[in-house]
Chain A
């Protein structure tokens, strides 16, 4: 970089460097695009521009009216923005009209028919729906009144993640300490890749294994009522996160300079004491980062929980009840939604929430890792 030469190829060099830089910059672009395009479908709900009420003030119209209406009238009738209207096929508009008509015809008898279920009050608060005898938190986007409460899904995600981390963190960190500090160098060389091989098991395979094998075994051991539940999904999720946590923790422990533990050994410490009293404290930020990134992995994992959690979007404090996570809900329901409808948008709201949570987790992990590096370099 510092060398200056009068070489003829200079202009080409400059162009090449610009091109390489622009490709590298596209990684930042991709992250922004993900946020924009997942968020694009979700923002109208975030800002209260969508109304999911089964009946609205506007009089329902027969589908055939579509051809007689001006675009502005159609937009107002279906509650669409101009851009949305343009992006839709005629078929989509017709099906939206049909849905509207059906909802209006069926919904009039229900006292909840006028509620905008995608407003924040119903997304987060409990409500006594007409078919319940007490206020509930429930995600039930079916029939005429779509109930979109986020609380059961968030609790479901946290429950499975909690079980997964409870299972995976002690195992993975202990193994990381053993492999990086206590194992013989010759063993270490194959122990690390062997444990990381666990990440070669695809999550859909772990899910199938949990569904067909682990479910039966764990039910026999613990004797709980439901075969598929948060506990089972959590254990399977733990298996998926062990290689992530182990790998990061092992890296953090290995990045502590050898001279630290050598100094302790020279002062008469035993191997384990040097590991436990010197290396582990020095690597604490890295271990912490490994745990939060493992948390991110668990919150975002889809296939394991989709297959093994029992998929009941009910709010329950018990770890042994069937449950439903944010990720599984998107995977299970997106295929059945009308593009641009409120159900479709709600699933993108879940996606945006997941993106924001993992973004923050990664940022936190990044900062902590950076600090570890700085500490160890003694700056």
Chain B
């Protein structure tokens, strides 16, 4: 056995410095976050009015007095809602497999986990390329060939393909959050259900899933929040610079809040004049992602408390 010598407890300059510096780092990060938020809100807050939220782009997209972001709000809402239709069933089922059915040591389980981790690390622009190469060219182009039309109906950027691309991207978010919720359920609950004669499937559907609902909700909310702010995956799969109309079907393109910010930041015809619209849109998007995240944090805190009580 070797003995370690520890610094003395009495007074300790190094210790105070260590605690002080790490605390300072924490404070600095929070300060940066606060500065970003306060600054952006102070710049864009005054632009956000009822007219700005409900007005369209038909008057003039680049005139701060007239422009509204209603079509972008609709586009963003449509793409994230459509996304949840795909990602929640797939993500929740995968999480159920991983916690309820899989043997944690099996090679297959490790492969699935590795795939989920990998998916979480793939750059968002690569998802964009995947959307173009797979959904638009392969699936969409294939559907066009099957239906025998000369005009591309499916094989072009569309709301549907953007949502599916985002669903693939946010799959790990839903899986991880659902898994956490499933693990927080007391094992005794499952055992009691099985002991009463319920089958495994019945236990999962009637005991485990209802109890995990808040966690599944968290996963969905986090996925929506993540997807709402993403631009790279939708750049080439469905977002449009300007459209006269809001999308009428899933094969239409759409205007989008986050994409609008990118357009105004880089391709604005007059940077000075459109700056208020840019910051106004930023404030609306931030409001969206922050409130979603806040709800997720609160639900999560409740699940964790329950987990501590259960185990």
A contact set with B: CB distance below 8 Å: 1, 3, 5, 7, 9-10, 12-13, 16-17, 20-21, 23-28, 30-31, 33-34, 37-38, 40-41, 87, 89, 170-172, 174-175, 177-179, 182-183, 189, 191, 193-209, 211-213, 239, 242, 246, 264, 267-277, 293, 296-297, 299-303, 306-307, 327, 330-331, 334-335, 339, 347-348, 351, 354-355, 358-359, 361-363, 365-366
Contact = CB atoms under 8 A, between A and B. Distances in A.
Contact of B126 (A34, A271, A293): A34
Nearest to A170: B25
Contacts of A195: 26, 29-30, 33
Contacts of B26: 174-175, 178-179, 183, 191, 195
Interface centre among A34, A202, A213, A358 (most CB of B within 10 A): A202
Interface of B: 4, 6-9, 12, 14-15, 18-19, 21-26, 28-30, 32-33, 36, 39-40, 89-90, 93-94, 96-98, 101-102, 111-112, 114-130, 132-134, 137-138, 141, 152, 168, 171, 175, 194, 197, 199-202, 225, 228-232, 235-236, 258-259, 261-262, 264-266, 275, 278, 282, 285-286, 289-290, 292-294, 297, 301
Contacts of B97: 20-21, 23-24
Interface centre among B89, B134, B301 (most CB of A within 10 A): B134
Given A300-B124, A307-B266, A20 B93 contact: yes
Contacts of B201: 9, 12-13, 16-17
B152 A89 contact: yes
Contacts of A277: 4, 6
Contacts of A201: 33, 36, 229, 286, 289
A302 B124 contact: yes
29 contacts: A1-B200, A12-B201, A13-B200, A27-B94, A31-B115, A38-B126, A87-B141, A170-B25, A191-B30, A197-B290, A198-B29, A201-B229, A208-B265, A208-B282, A264-B6, A270-B8, A270-B9, A272-B18, A300-B121, A302-B124, A302-B231, A306-B262, A306-B266, A330-B125, A339-B137, A358-B121, A359-B118, A362-B117, A363-B118
Nearest to A297: B121
Contacts of B275: 212
Contacts, number: 287
Contacts of A359: 118, 121-122
A339 B140 CA distance: 14
A351 B129 contact: yes
A83 B228 CA distance: 36
A355 B19 contact: no
A204 B262 contact: yes
Nearest to A15: B201
B291 to A, nearest CB: 9
Nearest first, the 6 closest Cβ-Cβ pairs linking A and B are A202-B229, A300-B123, A174-B25, A178-B22, A24-B97, A269-B6
Summarize A's interface: helix, strand, loop or mixed. Answer: helix
B45 to A, nearest CB: 14
A272 B21 CA distance: 11
Contacts of B289: 200-202
Given A23-B90, A202-B289, A302 B29 contact: no
Nearest to B25: A174
B125 A366 contact: no
Given A174-B22, A203-B230, A363-B114, 7 more contacts: A33-B134, A37-B134, A197-B297, A203-B229, A205-B261, A272-B12, A297-B121
A208 B263 CA distance: 10
A87 B94 CA distance: 34
Contact of B125 (A21, A23, A354): A354
B94 A23 contact: yes
A50 to B, nearest CB: 16
Contacts of A361: 121
Contacts of A41: 133
A250 B98 CA distance: 24
B129 A198 contact: no
A197 B9 contact: no
B41 to A, nearest CB: 12
Nearest to A88: B141
Contact of A366 (B18, B94, B114, B236): B114
